[in-house]
């Protein structure tokens, strides 16, 4: 009988107010769907990316790499003849530039006679079945994805770019064992060294150890030997060791975690909607629960009944969210890719797979959120004395516990303290916890804030109309009700506050990043023209003859050449970008976005370099510090002359003078060029002269405005999911405002009936509701803006620097904030009027009959 009664009460509540239940279910479902979808997409992309990397390593036990992209092959005989080595396979990796494409083709050059024992997936199958094609000096084998991307078939020539010239290879066969979406090519290592001007260079050496050799002990011994002979140059690792997994996982961890937290913002809003729905339902059914207590229902059964209602909302919402998340992930992978447009997992084609454990966790999270949302109303209903609760007009007493300020103030104080805490595992976990506590504390403080605000307004109004005849009664009644029903007003304000503050915070964060990026681009792109290769990769570039030709162009005053390479400073981290260009050591801020002060090294000190903010966070480098960088097989000392902001390389950047780089490495090539024109020279004339150069077809000429426009397009694509989450937060907020005001208005039918009895008309009551809705929403918007601004400070100055290791300037998108504020005001007023018409439709006698 008890279970039958519980289900009867549950279904009766849903039938009486289906819209409120649907809104709460939808909010939970959206939060779970977004979080689960992001998890599935990133897990699929990361697993596929890691599997692709493992496929390139094959069954090798040990890998030897250098701190630079290439090293001299003279070390190979020593390693191959080392005791314990069964097979040593030399590898040369090339990011080949493809004319007309903005992505490079990864070429793995190996010795087919050795690679077959270690990396069988990297053995090409010739179309004619011959074995000699793998050793041909012009043959390349393409994976199916590369063939489709390059529109090349077996037997056709493949054109690649080498410097400003073109290199033609012959597609001799395919790589049937390559993973889906993996765009790679395989060549003979000798042919690749010759064709790509990499004679005597290797990228890595794969080792297969003899049976019985302990790989960990061999790794330590070989690392010690190489460190003794060439200190700091070589890294010995196992293909699947913790360092490599850390490098792969670290590429996208901050991005994934931030997206997941933003997705759970919707779930937080859903939790508050469950709370407001259940709290208002308990207030409206206060006398019903009291009657059940009088008829014999025990307190624990009443608590279980209310928790059952919240559990039902959570189960339905979480189930819909898990199913919707799987569908959303499949659609997003199809249209946006596994990196959600951020470019983190290029070259892979992930397939979505259902994750039972993750689905269970997200389902449990949705259920837990719903139960927590209705826990406070359940215990409040159980604490109420039946004799008191049976009387009308005790609704405000039911929420008296919400007006206590000390728990809210404690949450806000703890949030302020945690916002200053350092990251954990290089993630801003305390920053996110600070945001959650700040939200909870401010929402809990809303009843007290509403009481203070509206009591002050009511007192001011009473003093202003004192002694005046014919003072408007509508405003008096409205302010009196708001001043004396602050707890119910606090629930309505909390709905506006949670949705609007989170929207404001995300909008400020994205706008700040976008504006800061645009300002940074204007600072680092001061030249009149920029020259780059028409294709990506590291085989295209400008050699000394081409550099001289650019310098001699008519109208050109100065040409600044840029060389970009990479160095590894920590085996557990991705490589650091090393950029060499002309930088004035006395005034580096002219070409770099310098932060803070600079240091000019003394004449006898090592030459200066300028590091990005990420180098400070990730490697602990400081201004004026002496560091060593691996260049040309040796470690050279430098002095940190300044710290600059770099939004292009979150893993770290080191900027050095081009003259120092060329002196130490002997590398005279350049990757890009920036051109300054003489005063009065026309850009169009210089562009025309560029097009007449014999190598003009290999160059891409861009104006600074074009580069900025392209960069902002990439930014918008990378933050497309953030824009989507922001839009969803706004929609949920609008529904939450509508549901909260609708519930409150319908719960006040008896109050409106009494007002009708004392002489107020329907129009006057609707005017009261409109003023109440507008006043509450305006206070919620104002408080939400202040709260959102504080949250944005944490996002901009704590979360982003700890996640991506760069700083930005605060910028407020006033048009967007004003538009959403207007939408919320309109939604609140219309909802109050619509719900008021429903509450007044039953007539005054019927409305107050429960008080008889």
Q: Is residue 388 part of a domain?
A: yes
Note the pLDDT of residue 257.
72
Q: Looking at the DSSP assignment, which residues form a beta bridge with residue 109? A: 92, 187
| Segment (H or E) for 215 | helix 215-229
Instruction: Answer yes or no: do 232 and 261 share one domain.
Output: no
**Distant-in-sequence, close-in-space partners of 365: CB < 8 Å, separation ≥ 6:** 32, 35, 267, 318
pLDDT at 242: 46
Q: What is the pLDDT of residue 729?
A: 63
- Which of 280, 101, 126, 291 has the alpha carbon at shortest distance from 183? 101
For the segment 616-643, the average pLDDT, to the nearest whole number, is 94
Q: Which pLDDT tens digit goes with each residue over 7-43?
A: 777 777 777 667 667 777 877 887 788 778 877 877 7
pTM to 2 decimals?
Answer: 0.83
7 in any annotated domain: yes
**Structure tokens of 24?**
């709460």
Of residues 671, 27, 689, 715, the one with CA closest to residue 314 = 27
SS3 of residue 126 by DSSP:
strand
The residue out of 647, 676, 702 marking a domain boundary is 702
pLDDT exceeds 80 at position 726: no
Give the pLDDT band (50/70/90) at residue 607.
very high
C-alpha–C-alpha distance, residues 536 and 104, integer Å: 5
11 and 70 belong to one structural domain: no
Would 591 be classed as within a structural domain?
Answer: yes
In a shared domain, residues 818 and 750 = yes
Which residues have C-beta within 8 Å of that of residue 331, sequence separation ≥ 6? Answer: none
Residue 358 pLDDT > 70: yes
What percent of the chain lies above the pLDDT cut of 90?
38
pLDDT of residue 838: 66
Let me know whether 540 and 614 are in one domain: yes
Backbone angles phi, psi at 540, to 5 degrees: -85, 155
Say if residue 116's pLDDT is above 50.
yes
More confident residue, 10 or 843: 10
pLDDT bin (cut points 50, 70, 90) of residue 522 is very high
**Residues 672, 637 share a domain:** yes
* Mean pLDDT, range 429-455, rounded to an integer: 87
Mean pLDDT of the chain: 83
Per the domain annotation, does 450 fall within a domain? no
Same domain, 670 and 778: no
Do both 679 and 746 map to the same domain?
no
pLDDT at 101 over 50: yes
Q: Strand 184-188 and strand 105-110: pairing? A: parallel
pLDDT band for position 110 (cuts 50, 70, 90)? very high
| Neighbour-count burial of 105, counting CB atoms closer than 10 A to its CB (0-12 exposed, 13-18 middle, 19+ buried) | buried
Domain count, the chain: 4
Establish if 732 belongs to a structural domain.
Answer: yes
Evaluate if residue 678 carries a pLDDT over 80.
Answer: yes
Whether residue 252 lies inside any domain: the answer is yes
In the predicted structure, residue 327 carries a pLDDT above the cut 70? yes
Give pLDDT, residue 172. Answer: 92
Statement to judge: residues 692 and 716 lie in one domain: no
**Residue whose token pair is 């993750």:** 358
The whole-angstrom separation of Cα 383 and Cα 381 is: 5
Are 98 and 203 found together in one domain?
yes
Share of the chain above pLDDT 70, in %: 82
Interacting residues of 684 by C-beta distance below 8 A, sequence separation 6+ = none
Residue 362 confidence (pLDDT):
87
Are residue 213 and residue 291 in the same domain, yes or no? no
441 located within any domain: no
Helix axes 429-465, 473-484, angle to 10 degrees: 140
Let me know whether 21 and 98 are in one domain: no
**Least confident piece of the model among 43-52, 188-197, 784-793:** 43-52
* Same domain, yes or no: 563 and 493: no
CB atoms within 10 A of CB 429: 17
The sign of the CA dihedral 785, 788, 792, 793 is positive
**pLDDT the model gives residue 851:** 46
Rounded-to-integer distance, Cα 752 and Cα 836, Å = 9
Residue where a domain terminates, one of 676, 702, 728: 702
Domain boundary among 187, 209, 238: 238
Is position 358 within any domain? yes
Domain interval for residue 155:
59-238
* 627 vs 476: which has the higher pLDDT: 627
Contacts of 64 (CB under 8 A, 6+ apart): 75, 79, 204, 205, 207, 222, 226, 234, 235, 236
Most confident segment among 204-213, 275-284, 443-452, 734-743: 204-213
Residue 852, pLDDT > 50, answer no
């Amino acid at each position: 009988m008890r279970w039958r009664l519980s289900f009867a009460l549950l279904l009766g509540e849903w039938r009486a107010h289906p819209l409120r239940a649907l809104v709460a279910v939808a909010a939970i479902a959206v939060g779970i769907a977004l979080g689960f979808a992001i998890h599935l997409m990133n897990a699929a992309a990361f697993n596929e990316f890691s599997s692709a990397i493992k496929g390139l390593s094959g069954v090798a036990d040990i890998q030897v790499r250098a701190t630079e992209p290439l090293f001299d092959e003279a070390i190979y005989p020593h390693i191959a003849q080392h005791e314990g080595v069964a097979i040593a396979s030399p590898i040369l990796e090339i990011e080949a530039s493809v004319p007309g494409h903005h992505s490079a083709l990864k070429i793995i050059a190996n010795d087919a006679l050795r690679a077959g024992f270690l990396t069988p997936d990297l053995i090409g199958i010739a179309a004619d079945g011959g074995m000699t094609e793998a050793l041909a000096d012009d043959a390349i084998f393409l994976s199916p994805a590369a063939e489709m991307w390059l529109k090349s078939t077996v037997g056709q020539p493949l054109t690649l770019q080498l410097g400003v010239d073109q290199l033609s290879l012959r597609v001799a066969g395919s790589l049937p064992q390559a993973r889906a979406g993996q765009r790679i090519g395989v060549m003979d290592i000798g042919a690749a060294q010759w064709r790509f001007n990499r004679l005597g260079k290797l990228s890595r050496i794969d080792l297969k150890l003899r049976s019985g050799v302990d790989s960990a002990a061999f790794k330590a011994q070989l690392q010690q030997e190489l460190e003794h002979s060439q200190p700091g140059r070589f890294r010995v690792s196992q293909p699947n060791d913790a360092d490599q997994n850390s490098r792969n996982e670290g590429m996208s961890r901050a991005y994934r975690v931030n997206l997941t937290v933003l997705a759970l913002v919707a779930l937080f809003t859903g939790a508050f909607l469950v709370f407001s729905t259940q709290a208002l339902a308990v207030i409206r059914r206060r006398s019903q629960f009291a009657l059940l207590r009088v008829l014999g229902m025990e307190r624990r059964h009443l608590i279980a009944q209310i928790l059952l209602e919240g559990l039902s909302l959570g189960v339905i919402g979480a189930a819909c969210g898990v199913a919707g998340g799987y569908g959303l992930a499949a659609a997003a992978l199809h249209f946006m890719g596994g990196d959600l447009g951020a470019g983190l997992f290029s070259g892979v084609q992930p397939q979505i797979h259902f994750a039972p454990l993750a689905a269970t966790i997200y389902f449990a999270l949705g259920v837990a959120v719903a139960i927590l949302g209705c826990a406070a109303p359940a215990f409040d209903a159980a604490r109420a004395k039946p004799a008191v609760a049976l009387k009308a007009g005790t609704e405000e007493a039911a929420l008296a516990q919400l007006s206590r300020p000390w728990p809210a103030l404690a949450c806000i104080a703890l949030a302020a303290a945690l916002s200053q805490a350092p990251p954990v595992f290089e993630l801003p976990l305390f920053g996110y916890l600070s945001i959650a506590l700040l939200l909870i504390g401010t929402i809990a403080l809303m009843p007290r804030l509403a009481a203070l605000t509206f009591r002050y307004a009511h007192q001011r109004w009473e003093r202003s109309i004192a002694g005046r005849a014919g003072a408007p009664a509508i405003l008096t009644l409205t302010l009196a009700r708001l001043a004396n029903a602050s707890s119910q007003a606090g629930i309505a304000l909390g709905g506006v506050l949670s949705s609007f503050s989170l929207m404001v915070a995300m909008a400020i964060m994205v706008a700040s990043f976008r504006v800061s990026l645009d300002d940074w681009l204007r600072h680092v792109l001061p030249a009149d023209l920029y020259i780059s290769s028409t294709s990506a990769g590291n085989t295209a570039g400008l050699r000394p003859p081409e550099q001289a030709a650019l310098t001699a162009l008519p109208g050109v005053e100065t040409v600044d050449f840029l060389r970009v390479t990479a160095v590894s400073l920590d085996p557990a981290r991705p490589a650091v970008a090393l950029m060499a260009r002309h930088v004035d050591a006395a005034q580096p801020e002219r070409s770099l976005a310098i932060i803070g002060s600079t240091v000019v090294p003394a004449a006898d000190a090592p030459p200066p370099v300028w590091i990005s903010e990420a180098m400070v966070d990730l490697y602990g480098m400081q201004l004026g510090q002496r560091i060593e960088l691996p260049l040309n097989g040796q470690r050279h000392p430098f002095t940190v002359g300044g710290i600059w902001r770099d939004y292009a390389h979150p893993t770290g950047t080191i900027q050095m003078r081009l003259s120092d780089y060329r002196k130490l490495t002997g590398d005279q090539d350049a990757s890009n060029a920036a051109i300054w024109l003489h005063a009065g020279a026309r850009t169009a004339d210089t562009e025309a002269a560029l097009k007449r150069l014999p190598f003009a077809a290999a160059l891409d000429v861009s104006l600074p405005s074009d580069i900025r426009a392209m960069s902002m397009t990439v930014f918008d694509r990378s933050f497309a999911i953030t824009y989507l989450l922001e839009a969803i937060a706004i929609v949920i907020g609008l529904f939450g405002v509508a549901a909260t005001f609708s519930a409150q208005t319908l719960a006040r039918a008896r109050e409106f009936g009494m007002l009708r009895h004392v002489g107020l008309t329907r129009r006057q009551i609707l005017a009261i509701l409109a003023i109440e809705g507008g006043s509450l929403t305006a206070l919620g918007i104002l408080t939400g803006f202040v709260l959102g601004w504080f949250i944005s400070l944490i996002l901009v100055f704590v979360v982003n620097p700890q996640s991506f290791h760069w700083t930005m300037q605060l910028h407020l998108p006033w048009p967007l904030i004003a538009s959403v504020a207007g939408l919320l005001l309109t939604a609140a007023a219309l909802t109050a009027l619509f719900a008021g018409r429903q509450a007044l439709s039953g007539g005054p006698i019927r409305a107050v009959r429960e008080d008889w």
